[in-house]
Amino acid sequence: MRKISGKLDDDHLHYHGVDSAEKHLSVKEALETFLGEIRTTKSETIGVYEANGRVFFSDLTCPENLPRIARSTRDGYAVKLTADDLGEIENRTFIIIGEVRIGAVSKLIINSGQAAKVATGSFVPRGANAVAMKEYSQVEDGRLKTTKNLKIGENILSPGEDLKKGELLFRAGTRLRPHHIALLSLLGVKKAKLFSRPRIAIFSTGDELQDPFKSKKLDNAATFDSNRPFLSSIISELGALPVDLGIARDNFDETKSKMMTGLKYDALILSAGSSVGDRDYVSRAAESIKGMRMLVHGVAMRPSSPTGLAVYRGKPVVFLPGFPTSAIVSFYVFGRPSILKLSGLSSTEFPTIRARLDEDFDGKPGLTHFLRVKISREGEQFIAKIVRPTEAQYSSWLREANGIAILGADGKTNAVRGDEVSVYLIDQVEENNVQLAQIP
Work out the number of other CB atoms within 10 angstroms of the CB of residue 379: 7
Q: Is residue 4 part of a domain?
A: no
Higher pLDDT among residues 124 and 380, named by residue = 124
For residues 353 and 422, what is the distance between their CA atoms, to the nearest angstrom? 6
What's the CATH code of the domain at 77?
2.170.190.11
Q: Is residue 420 part of a domain?
A: yes
Higher pLDDT among residues 361 and 20, named by residue = 361
What confidence tier does 403 reach under pLDDT thresholds 50, 70, 90?
A: very high
DSSP string, 29-98: HHHHHHHTTPPPP-EEEEEGGG-TT-BBSS-EE-SS-BSSS-EESSSEEEE---GGGTT--TT-EEEEEE
What confidence tier does 86 reach under pLDDT thresholds 50, 70, 90?
A: low
What's the CATH code of the domain at 428?
2.40.340.10
Residue 379 has what pLDDT?
86
* Strand bridging mode 267-271 / 315-320: parallel
Torsions phi, psi for 202 (to 5 deg): -135, 145
Indicate if 47 and 184 belong to the same structural domain: yes
DSSP string, 215-279: -SSPPTT-EE--HHHHHHHHHHHTT-EEEEEEEE-S-HHHHHHHHHHHTTSSEEEEE--SSHHHH
The answer to whether residue 397 scores a pLDDT higher than 80 is yes
For residues 204 and 144, what is the distance between their CA atoms, to the nearest angstrom? 77
Task: Name the β-bridge partners of 205.
Answer: 248
* Whether the Cβ atoms of residue 175 and residue 53 lie closer than 8 Å to each other: yes
Domain boundary pick from 145, 175, 195: 195
Alpha carbon 102 to its chain's center: 38
* Whether the Cβ atoms of residue 198 and residue 315 lie closer than 8 Å to each other: no
Work out the average pLDDT over 304-313: 95
Residue 440 has what pLDDT?
40
Indicate if 35 and 81 belong to the same structural domain: no
331-356 residue pLDDT tens? 999 999 999 999 999 999 999 999 99
* Whether the Cβ atoms of residue 238 and residue 343 lie closer than 8 Å to each other: yes
Indicate if 50 and 190 belong to the same structural domain: yes
The answer to whether residue 221 scores a pLDDT higher than 80 is no
Indicate if 208 and 134 belong to the same structural domain: no
Q: Is residue 1 part of a domain?
A: no
DSSP string, 297-327: E-BSEES-TT-EEEEETTEEEEEE-SSHHHH
* Least trusted range by pLDDT, from 46-60, 113-127, 179-193, 417-431: 417-431
Residue 412 has what pLDDT?
87
Residue 85 has what pLDDT?
65
The answer to whether residue 438 scores a pLDDT higher than 80 is no
Rg (CA), the chain: 31
* Whether the Cβ atoms of residue 309 and residue 33 lie closer than 8 Å to each other: yes
Indicate if 235 and 334 belong to the same structural domain: yes
Indicate if 365 and 266 belong to the same structural domain: no
Q: Is residue 143 part of a domain?
A: yes
Indicate if 213 and 107 belong to the same structural domain: no
Domain boundary pick from 309, 343, 377: 343
Quote the crossing angle between the two packed helices 252-262 and 276-287, to the nearest 10°.
Answer: 50
* Whether the Cβ atoms of residue 393 and residue 326 lie closer than 8 Å to each other: no
Structurally, the chain folds into a number of domains equal to 4
Higher pLDDT among residues 281 and 202, named by residue = 202
Residue 19 has what pLDDT?
55
Indicate if 257 and 207 belong to the same structural domain: yes
Q: Is residue 129 part of a domain?
A: yes
Domain housing 149: 71-157
DSSP state of 334: I
Q: How far is CA 223 from CA 205, 318, 440, in A?
A: 12, 22, 29
Q: Is residue 422 part of a domain?
A: yes
For residues 94 and 139, what is the distance between their CA atoms, to the nearest angstrom? 9
Q: Is residue 3 part of a domain?
A: no
The answer to whether residue 17 scores a pLDDT higher than 70 is no
Indicate if 249 and 106 belong to the same structural domain: no
How much of the chain, in percent, has pLDDT values that exceed 90?
Answer: 75
Q: How far is CA 85 from CA 97, 113, 126, 150, 345, in A?
A: 20, 10, 18, 9, 53
DSSP string, 96-115: EEEE--TT-----BPPTTEE
Indicate if 225 and 279 belong to the same structural domain: yes
Domain boundary pick from 101, 135, 157: 157
Higher pLDDT among residues 84 and 204, named by residue = 204
Indicate if 203 and 310 belong to the same structural domain: yes
225-280 residue pLDDT tens? 999 999 999 999 999 999 999 999 988 999 999 999 999 999 999 998 534 444 57
Q: Is residue 310 part of a domain?
A: yes
Indicate if 271 and 228 belong to the same structural domain: yes
